[in-house]
Amino acid sequence: DKQGKYLPGSGIKVDSNLNVISKLREQSPTTCLIFPWNLNSEINARIKSLLVPGSRVVKFFPTFSVEDI
């Protein structure tokens, strides 16, 4: 299980879906970084309704892209 552990060399914690959704609701970030590129479509569909209008979703792989919500 990867949840609760950290990405090597970055110190970024891998969190559960429920914790991420809870944090998105509480903190209302304007930028969301997506690291698991293979789950990009699924993650985008889930978080779009949680981000404030004008937010951005950034992914780095396989190519760098920024999507305005």
Distance, in Å, from the CA atom of 12 to the CA atom of 25, rounded to the nearest integer, reads 20
Tell me the β-bridge partners of 58: 33, 66
pLDDT band at 31 (very low <50, low <70, confident <90, very high): very high
Question: Quick one: pLDDT at residue 57?
Answer: 92
pLDDT at 64 over 90: yes
C-alpha triplet 49, 56, 40: angle, nearest 5°: 70
pTM > 0.75: no
